[in-house]
Amino acid sequence: MCKLTPRFLFFVSFLLLLFFSYWVGGGVLYPLGAGVFLALFYLVLVGLVFFFHVVPSVGRRVLEAAVLVVLFASFHMYPPLALTAIPALFFVLLYPVYLGWRHGVFKDLTHVVLWFVLSAALGVALSWPLPQILWINVLAAVSTALLAHYILLKTYPRLKRRREKPTAT
């Protein structure tokens, strides 16, 4: 059951994100739409990082996503508040990675960097022939990031052990 939670979170939020991206199409996003986009993205990233593990405090993660929506919606009340979108952006991008590192999903910083590099390398082949449409971009980016995450989870611990053994002897 616990194993299913991150996958359920990932697939639900990913499907919603894809649908939302398809709906937006080439249009512009106002703060509420951008807030929804970022909140879904946050849940997708959390689900992606913990895809093969257990999401810590799922309720809190969903609450954080809801706060993001409220924060972006409040820009309409006081527009200069929109500057907080920048720290919110870094929060969405980095906090799931931080959680993964803290809860042992990522073994170390090299693991994280390798994930970034490998997902980029895998994506080149996949995204090259695809049209630059928002929902396709999201689909390609998320799927390659997940694939790279899976490959590294399987290979990086072995690589690390192999690298550490000669040092130990």
Contacts with other proteins, residue ranges (CB under 8 A):
23-24, 27-34, 37-38, 41, 45, 72, 75-76, 79-80, 82-83, 85-86, 88-89, 92-93, 115-116, 118-124, 126-127, 134, 137-138, 140-142, 144-145, 148
Give the end-to-end CA distance of the chain in Å, rounded to a whole number. 42
**To the nearest whole angstrom, how small is the minimum distance from the Cβ of residue 89 to other proteins?**
5
* Buried/exposed 123-152: b ≥16 CB within 10 Å, e otherwise: beeebeeeeeebbeebbbbbbbbbebbeeb
Is 51:13 a contact under the CB 8 Å cutoff?
no
Q: Which is nearer to other proteins, 15 or 161 (CB)?
A: 15
| Cβ–Cβ < 8 Å for 24, 65 | no
**22: how many CB neighbours lie within 10 A of its CB?**
14
Contact 43, 62 (CB under 8 A): yes
Least distance in Å: CB of 119 to other proteins?
A: 3
Taking a C-beta distance cutoff of 8 angstroms, is the pair 156, 107 a contact?
yes
Cα dihedral 19, 22, 23, 27 sign: positive
